Each structure stands twice: as structure tokens, then as C-alpha cells.
Chains A and B, each alone.
Chain A
Amino acid sequence: MNGWSHHLIVAPILIPVVAAAILLFIEERQRVTKAMVSLASALLLLAVAFILFRIESGPNGYEGVYLLGNWAAPFGVVLVLDGLSALMLLLTALVAVAALVYSLARWHGMGSHFHSMFQLLLMGVNGAFLTGDLFNLFVFFEVMLAASYGLLLHGSGQLRVKAGLHYIAVNLAAALLFLIGVSLIYGTAGTLNMADLAARIPDMEADRRMLMEAGAGVLGIAFLIKAGMWPLCFWLPTAYSAAAAPVAGVFAILSKLGIYVILRLTMLLFDSGPSAGFGSTVLLYGGMATLIFGTIGVLASQALGRLAGFSVLVSSGTLLMVLGINDGAVSSGALLYLVSSTLTISAFFMLIELVERSQDAGANVLAVTMEAYGDADEDEPEEGDGVTMPGTMAILGTCFAMCGILLSGLPPLSGFIAKFAMLSAMMGTGAIGVPPTAAVWALIILVILSGVAALISMTRVGIRTFWTSLEGVVPRVLVIEIVPVMFLLGITLLLTVQANSAMQYMDTTIRTLSNPSLYIDAVRNATVVPGVDSDAGEGD
């Protein structure tokens, strides 16, 4: 990577922030212009993310260190692009494009500044994926959170405000924990650059390292709140199910952001050396508890929104457990699972709104008394105009079935392949080759049970929605709304067909991650552009 393409690394942060700034100057009434700017930015982002992904999946690995302001690594702020961040950028861009297109049908007009907040959210998420500096991670995290507060409240209403109040309070407290963790790490290690920190840990004296680990633990809690580890997850299903459909769709990536940071930091800081394995027990058992809680929640959910919210928890729990095991082969399966489940949940959140249009509000909550209501609620508020989808119920049903198959991990779709890759590695037929311990057996059983629970719930809801729906009210679904859902599900199909190359990519990514010296060297050896300032680097 050289020449102009090197600057592409910073583009995923710049494109949305510029778009958000432009959008602020366009009047709210010029909805089409706003939509076009926003969509152009998202598509550009997708293109950039795809190019970066292609570069990373090529033969040369770590070349993506970008020195912001041309300051050498420990002094300035760096952006680091590796296999993992390229993958997450691409995933974010895919979900963002789908959610944005979906929102154009009606949601983007339901309140002000939807597009600006959406772009700022993307900027925060992309920045958090790219940054190589803990404090910058905080800043990007806050940008993302601030935008997500606005997006969660988008469309207003009592339910959203109530959920938003809880969401904001929880996340503000989490941000404070984040700050405590970061400052403890700075106070003990004297650096906030992730690569520099990883290089300094082996030489730390024991008492300092203990404080540093305490800081890392506090920092971890902040991300576990975001990822929704039990018992830090009670806000999540309420908030996600209260959010507008496209917002919930893009929120699916936010909980994966927590997972990403934990994966990145554990692989980088606690892979080997004196602090090796720090926190893995917490992740393992916390993940198990999350998975159990999520599974019970999935079984107990009457409303579809909450079912999807608990599916987020199931996905987080599975990933956290795998991070707790910290084994290469399992982790690469888990990366595929991460991609597949994010796409599925995002599509599912958007599909829910379409499916629920055929029912009166609250019908699912009061399923037993459904007959009593009859077709009283036929006139749903429908503000969108455009081409209506023909054969609506058939398409909705197919998408719903696909979501069910993906969530429960049945063959033939990618949910099955990802779970299969994880479970076979856990059982010892993969790379570890050792018989699983009791904890791993428990884990295997839990993963399978969670799949069964998802299957039961989805079947129950599917039968109620598509087969025994009362008057056969066909919801009015626009092409622009169903296409994003089909797009996301189509990617899971692609992931299924291309499972081999996808798994290879995940394998390479995990292998590079499990060798932190590659990351450290890449950041430390990144040279400043010559001829600008000869004594850059004496800034500390």
C-alpha cells in the first residue's frame, strides 16, 4: 500500500464527518437532497471499505499504519488497519447502506437531523475500529454514543424516551468507567498507544502491573456494558426494541464494537507474557451467563422486537465465551459467527417492522386475546410512497424463515457454518486437538441449546404471523424497504457459498492477531513522511 491509497485508511473517518457537516447546512425540508448526500457518503464508505478489505486480504499484511499529523508512533495518534479492522469496516458499511436505504422509505422524515446523526454514528464506529490509541478510542466511542442517543430517540414517543433515558444513563456511567480505566493505564504504563502499551507490559514491575490490570479490568467493564454481558445487559433488549427499525438495524453493529475492542485488547495486551490470560475466566463465565440469559429471554419474548434484542445477547454471549477460551481455531469460527450474526440481526430488526405492519400494535404481547381485536387496526399510519412490493407475504415469509435458520444455526446458511466451525474446533477436531474440558462441554451444550431456543421462538412467531394471521391483512411494504433486508440476507448467502475463502480470511486474521509483535512492530516502525518537520517526535 503506497501513494494515494495509503490515505484511504483515514477515509472511513473523513467521509462521514464531512457528509455530516454538509448535511447540517441543508434544510430539513429538502429531504431528497439530504437523502442523496447521506446515501452517497454511505456508498462511498462501502467502496472504500471494500478496497481496504481487498488490500488486507491480499498477500501483504500489516501495512496500514497511518500517522495522523505525521507524528511518530508513541507521540502522535495512529490509525491502524489490519485484517480485523478491515473486516469490521466492511461489515459496518454494509449494514449502514442497508439501514440507510431502509430509512429512506419513511423513517428519515420522522424527526430532524436523522442523516447527520447517522453519519456521525458511522464516523464514531469507523474511528473506533481504526484507532490505535486508547484515548482516541474514548473520543470515537463518545462520538458514536452521542449520535446513538439521538438516533435512539429518533421518532420520539414515550417508549423511546423512557428507553433512551436508561440507555443514556447506563452509557454515561460506562463512559466514566472507561475514563477511569484509561487514566489508570496511563498512570501506570505511561502511554496510551496500544502498541506501545503492549510492548511495555512485559517490563513492568509487579505492583505497577497489578494496577495496570485493574485499569484494564475497569476499561473492560465499559466495553462489556456495550457488548451486553450479563449482568450489565438489562438495558439492551428494551433500548434496541424501542429504537426505530433502521436505527436498531445499525445498532446491531454497536454491540459488536464492544466485542471488537475486547478481542483487540486481549489479543494484543494479554496474549503472552506475565499478564497472559488476564480476564479470560470472567469472559468465559460471563459469556455463559449472558448466553443463558439471552436464551431464556428469546424463549420468553412475546414481542418480536424483544426477541431480536435477546438474540443480540445470545450472539454477544457466544462471542464472549469464545474470547474466554482464547483459542485460534475457535476464534476464527467466532469471527465468521460475528459477521453472520450481525448481518442476520440487522436484517431481522428491519424485517420485524415490516412483519408487524400486518398486525395491530401489541397483538403479540396479548396473543391469546388476539381474536377479540379483529381487524380494528387496519389503518396503520403509512407515510411512505413508492412502489409496493408484489407477493409481499411470500417474500416476507421467506426472509423471516431465513432469519430463523440463520439465528438458530441450521444448515445450509452461514449461521450453521460459523457454529460448526466453532463447535468442531471446541470438540478437538479442529486445530487444538485436545479433548474438551468440562467448561468447554458446557459451552458446546449452551451454544446448541441457544440455537434450539431460537428455532422454537422463531417457529412460534412465524406460525402465528404467517399461517394463522387473522384477516389476512397484507402489509403494504415498499420495494425500498424489503430490498435492504434481502441485501443483507443475500450477503449471508454469499458467505455460505464462499465459506472456504471467508474462513481462510478469518484464519489469517486470527493468526496475525495472535502474534502481537507484528502489530507492535508495524506501529513502532511506521516512519514519518520526510521533509516536513525534521524534529517531529520530540513532543512528549
Chain B
Amino acid sequence: MEIILSIAIGVMTSCGVWLILRPRTYQVIIGLSLLSYAVNLFIFGVGGVKTNVPPILSGNGADGVLADPVPQALVLTAIVIGFATTALFLVVLLASRGLTGTDHVDGRGDKR
């Protein structure tokens, strides 16, 4: 489980980093989305990966088996904020496309 999760985070991060370094705005926004997925999974992961465990102390809590609820709360906030800012970025991207007529991040076509 941990291996799968970490590989998933790693693959998404590397794809995301590669994409945000590309010159097209569309690639940048996909890269940012991938990165934010990776980060969200990462936040989820720092609480420890557990299966079939409630996020609350059960019984007297002596067995100490619980999934940490705080990262789950954090990731929820991060998802909402990331979604909102990505949507905003999309609007600016479209405005830039409309004003410059190109989807290059610098607003002018690439010379190479």
C-alpha cells in the first residue's frame, strides 16, 4: 500500500514538474493540477497509511489504532483552495489567449 501510494505521488510529481516547465499555458495548468493531486495525496500520507481504521478513538482507546483525522481535514481544505485557484488560473489563461492570440506563457509565439 505504501509503495503504491509513494510511486503514485512520485510519478504525478515528476509529470507535474515537467509540465509546468513547458511553454504552453495548457501544459502548465495540467502540470499544476497534477502537482496539486500529488501534494494532496502526500498530505493524506503523512498521517500514516492505514486501512479499515476509523478516524476516531474507539473503545477506551487503549489499542491506539486510529487514522489521524487532522491530515484528512487539511487535505479537504487544500483541495478546495487548490480547485479555486486553478479555476482562477484557467480564466487568466483564457484571457491571455484572447488578448495575445497565442497560448505561449510569454504571450508570443516561440521562435524555435
For B3-18 the 0/1 string (1 means CB < 8 A from A) is 0000000000000000
Q: Given A172-B32, A173-B35, A175-B85, check contact A158 B99 (CB 8 Å).
A: yes
CB of B81, distance to nearest CB on chain A (Å): 5
Within 137-175 of A, Cβ neighbours of B (below 8 Å) are at: 138-139, 142, 145-146, 149-150, 153, 156-158, 161-162, 164-166, 168-169, 172-173, 175
B28 with A179: CB separation less than 8 A: no
Q: Quick one: closest A residue to B32, CB to CB?
A: A172
B25 with A165: CB separation less than 8 A: yes
Residues from chain B with Cβ under 8 Å of A180 in the complex: 39, 42
A146 with B93: CB separation less than 8 A: no
Q: Which of A157, A168, A175, A176 contacts B88 (CB 8 A)?
A: A168
B20 with A169: CB separation less than 8 A: yes
B85 with A173: CB separation less than 8 A: no
State the CA gap A153–B84 with chains docked (Å): 17
Q: Which of B20, B70, B86 contacts A186 (CB 8 A)?
A: B70
Q: Given A161-B95, A165-B25, A184-B46, check contact A139 B32 (CB 8 Å).
A: no
Residues from chain B with Cβ under 8 Å of A162 in the complex: 96, 100, 106-107
The answer to the question of A187 belonging to the interface, with a C-beta cut-off of 8 Å to chain B, is yes
Q: Given A161-B96, A173-B20, A180-B39, check contact A146 B106 (CB 8 Å).
A: no
A135 with B77: CB separation less than 8 A: yes
Q: Which of A142, A173, A175, A183 contacts B71 (CB 8 A)?
A: A183
State the CA gap A467–B93 with chains docked (Å): 43
State the CA gap A464–B39 with chains docked (Å): 51
Q: Given A149-B92, A165-B105, A186-B71, check contact A179 B43 (CB 8 Å).
A: yes
B85 with A172: CB separation less than 8 A: yes
Q: Given A158-B107, A161-B95, A162-B106, check contact A183 B85 (CB 8 Å).
A: no
Give how many B residues have a beta carbon under 8 Å from the other chain's beta carbons. Answer: 32
Residues from chain A with Cβ under 8 Å of B89 in the complex: 168-169, 172
Q: Given A158-B99, A158-B107, check contact A165 B43 (CB 8 Å).
A: no
The answer to the question of B109 belonging to the interface, with a C-beta cut-off of 8 Å to chain A, is no
State the CA gap A145–B84 with chains docked (Å): 12
CB of A354, distance to nearest CB on chain B (Å): 27
State the CA gap A149–B32 with chains docked (Å): 16
Residues from chain A with Cβ under 8 Å of B25 in the complex: 165
Residues from chain A with Cβ under 8 Å of B54 in the complex: none
Residues from chain B with Cβ under 8 Å of A186 in the complex: 46, 70-71, 74
Q: Quick one: closest A residue to B73, CB to CB?
A: A135
A165 with B81: CB separation less than 8 A: no
A169 with B28: CB separation less than 8 A: yes
Residues from chain A with Cβ under 8 Å of B95 in the complex: 153, 156, 161
A161 with B71: CB separation less than 8 A: no
Q: Quick one: closest A residue to B106, CB to CB?
A: A162
A142 with B81: CB separation less than 8 A: yes
Residues from chain B with Cβ under 8 Å of A158 in the complex: 99-100, 107
Q: Which of A161, A173, A192 contacts B99 (CB 8 A)?
A: A161
CB of A204, distance to nearest CB on chain B (Å): 15
Q: Which of A138, A146, A184, A192 contacts B85 (CB 8 A)?
A: A146
Within 93-146 of A, Cβ neighbours of B (below 8 Å) are at: 135, 138-139, 142, 145-146
Residues from chain B with Cβ under 8 Å of A179 in the complex: 39, 42-43, 78
CB of B45, distance to nearest CB on chain A (Å): 8
B96 with A183: CB separation less than 8 A: no
Residues from chain A with Cβ under 8 Å of B82 in the complex: 175-176
CB of A195, distance to nearest CB on chain B (Å): 17
What are 28 pairs between A and B in contact, CB < 8 Å? A138-B77, A138-B78, A142-B81, A142-B85, A146-B84, A146-B85, A149-B92, A156-B95, A157-B99, A161-B92, A164-B92, A165-B92, A165-B93, A166-B105, A169-B20, A169-B32, A172-B85, A173-B32, A173-B35, A175-B85, A176-B82, A179-B39, A179-B43, A183-B42, A183-B43, A183-B46, A186-B71, A187-B46
What residues make up the interface of B, taking CB atoms closer than 8 Å to A? 20, 25, 28, 32, 35-36, 39, 42-43, 46-47, 70-71, 74, 77-78, 81-82, 84-86, 88-89, 92-93, 95-96, 99-100, 105-107
Known: A149-B88, A540-B70. 16 other contacts (CB 8 A): A138-B77, A138-B78, A149-B85, A161-B107, A162-B100, A162-B107, A165-B105, A166-B105, A169-B105, A173-B20, A176-B35, A179-B39, A179-B78, A184-B46, A187-B47, A192-B70
The 7 nearest A-B residue pairs measured at CB? A187-B46, A183-B43, A162-B107, A183-B46, A158-B99, A142-B81, A161-B96
